[in-house]
Chain A
Amino acid sequence: MTPPPGRSGGVRRQLVIGALLALLGFAGATQIRSTHRTDSFEHQPRDNLVQLLDSLSAAADRVQVQITQLQHTRDDLSGTAKRRQTALAVARKRLEELRLLAGTVPAQGPGVTITITDSRGGVTAASILDGIEELRDAGAEAIEINNHVRVVASTSFTAPTGVLMVDGMQVRPPYVIDAIGSSHTLSEAVAFPGGLRDQVSALGGTVSVKEADEVHIDSLHRVQPPEYAQPTGG
């Protein structure tokens, strides 16, 4: 390899060797590149290809099994989800109605606004209670008094000091009762002989009834978690 010093032939020999090595390098690099570039199985022996084919089939089978299982799971889940969705929708509707009944949400709907004046102070708690029962009897679904007390199942009407207390809150005349329900039935119930109007008149007050397509009841009843009454789950 070492060129004889001082001879021009040495340079030429070096060039030839260099050129040949360059050719070798080029050929090698090209071959390696072409081996890597082309499809991985383009240069593989037939047996390898057959084996590859087999393992591909096996992998596809495995995935297919997994897919089938997952499809079952998905169908189960979506069936359950659909049933639950229905159950939830029912529960939501029911809850909405319970909230209206328990007075925890504002209500609106057709109904009546009843105004009871009591200039002589003769109207008693009992007569107001009787009026409320009348409205319930006529199908009132939500009731409030003087725009700030919601009347629910447990609402009490008392007058320990002569002033009407509804659920412990003072209510002064004129009493304005908003009730949601069939406005016609409600107003008829008030006007029924021996009903609220007659009773109040006998006590020296007046009753006026106004039917409305939209009665708004905005006062709310605070529901305390029961201390003694435990739901039995039935």
Chain B
Amino acid sequence: MTGSLGHDDRADRRSVGQNLLTQILDNSLEEDYRAVAEARGGDSPSSRGSRLRLLGVVAVFGVLISTSAVQTQQDRPQALVERAGLISEIRARQHRLDSLETQLRTLQSDVAALQTQAAQQSDVQAKLSGEVSTLGVAAGTASVRGPGIVITTDDGPSAAGSAGTIADSDLQALINSLWAAGAEAIAVNGHRLTPLTAIRLAGQAITVDYRSLRPPYVVQAIGNPNLLPSRLLQTQGGQLWLSLRANFGIRFTVRASNQITLPGQAHVSLLWARHRIRR
């Protein structure tokens, strides 16, 4: 590389197909100096003017370097500030994302808990409504449908006097006998009987649930339609009514029915009784 580069030499190399890298390496500045030196023939001039020229160029070089350095130094804070802003923004957003994700997880567990609660609630609700419907039949608050019998009674002819009039105790006895015969639900003239229902005489009228009824009294009872009539007639109440019919002309007909619908009694809140918890 430091050897002299004649024209032949160069041409030779070029023809071989020099690659870019060696070309760069070979074409160092120093080549120009060598060419000039060869042209001049070895004597190096050292005039005053050339010294000043050298001084000037090197000074320009110094100015270039320092200016460039100063400029870079000035630019750096700006770049850093921008970068720092970017990074702090990234941190802030990461923070926000973290808190959002925490919120999301909390929400997800809340929703899951609520869903579990909903499932439990519907379980409880199903259990409650199952018991409510079973007890509602017994307590007379649920309307029910089923086979059974319809008993129609009416006072005897007015000629029979008070003996031909149906008394509250007669109706009580009939109802009592129907329960004894296995009736599951009973209504009198459309009034469902509940544990709170009293059949009483008030003045001249029979009341069921404090409502005065007028004859004919229609008693509907849901139960086994095949067994209810025969069992009823075996009871004292049944016997009583047979004799009432025979002796006083009181109407007493028993008819089986495949489909009887009894209304539920409106739910009445209990005022006095409460669940006794035994410890």
A and B touch in the complex (CB under 8 A): yes
Chain B residues with CB below 8 A from A80, complex form: 118
Chain A residues with CB below 8 A from B151, complex form: none
Nearest-neighbour CB distance to chain B for A222, whole angstroms, equals 10
CA A95 to CA B133, docked complex, whole Å: 9
A126 within 8 A of B: yes
Question: Given A46-B83, A73-B111, A134-B200, A228 and B148 touching (CB < 8 A)?
Answer: yes
Question: Given A60-B97, A105-B275, A158-B180, A232 and B222 touching (CB < 8 A)?
Answer: no
B23 within 8 A of A: no
Chain B, residue nearest A108 (CB): B276
Q: How large is the interface on A (under 10, 10 to 19, 20 to 34, 35 or more residues)?
A: 35 or more
Chain B residues with CB below 8 A from A73, complex form: 111
| Partner-binding segment picked from A8-16, A27-35, A61-69, A114-122 | A61-69
Nearest-neighbour CB distance to chain A for B212, whole angstroms, equals 13
Contact with A along B184-198 (1 / 0, CB 8 A): 110000000111111
Chain B residues with CB below 8 A from A22, complex form: none
Contact with A along B145-184 (1 / 0, CB 8 A): 1111000000000000000000011001100110110011
Q: Is the CB of B132 within 8 A of A142?
A: no
Q: Is the CB of B133 within 8 A of A231?
A: yes
CA A227 to CA B135, docked complex, whole Å: 13
List 3 A-B pairs, minimum CB-CB distance, nearest first: A156-B180, A137-B198, A136-B198
CA A105 to CA B131, docked complex, whole Å: 13
CA A88 to CA B131, docked complex, whole Å: 13
Contact with B along A87-105 (1 / 0, CB 8 A): 1100110111111111111
Query: Considering the complex, which residues of chain B in the window 71-113 have a beta carbon less than 8 Å from any beta carbon of chain A?
Result: 82-83, 86-87, 89-90, 93-94, 96-97, 100-101, 103-104, 107-108, 110-111
CA A160 to CA B238, docked complex, whole Å: 12
Known: A81-B118, A110-B272, A126-B172. 19 other contacts (CB 8 A): A53-B93, A60-B96, A74-B110, A88-B128, A94-B132, A98-B139, A101-B138, A105-B275, A106-B275, A111-B272, A152-B139, A153-B139, A153-B179, A158-B180, A228-B146, A228-B147, A228-B223, A229-B222, A231-B136
Residue A102 contacts which of B138, B145, B184, B198 (CB distance < 8 angstroms)?
B138
Contact with A along B48-91 (1 / 0, CB 8 A): 00000000000000000000000000000000001100110110
A208 within 8 A of B: no
B22 within 8 A of A: no
Nearest-neighbour CB distance to chain A for B184, whole angstroms, equals 4
B230 within 8 A of A: no
| Partner-binding segment picked from B8-16, B35-43, B243-251, B262-270 | B262-270
Q: Is the CB of A156 within 8 A of B275?
A: no
Task: Please name 28 pairs of A and B residues whose Cβ atoms are closer than 8 Å in the assembled complex, sorted by A.
Answer: A49-B86, A53-B90, A60-B100, A81-B114, A81-B117, A85-B121, A91-B125, A94-B267, A95-B128, A95-B131, A101-B139, A101-B194, A108-B274, A108-B275, A129-B176, A134-B198, A137-B198, A139-B271, A141-B196, A152-B139, A152-B195, A154-B179, A155-B179, A157-B176, A158-B235, A226-B144, A228-B222, A233-B133
Q: Is the CB of A126 within 8 A of B169?
A: yes
A217 within 8 A of B: yes
A205 within 8 A of B: no
Chain A residues with CB below 8 A from B107, complex form: 67, 70-71, 74
B229 within 8 A of A: no
CA A133 to CA B274, docked complex, whole Å: 21
B142 within 8 A of A: yes
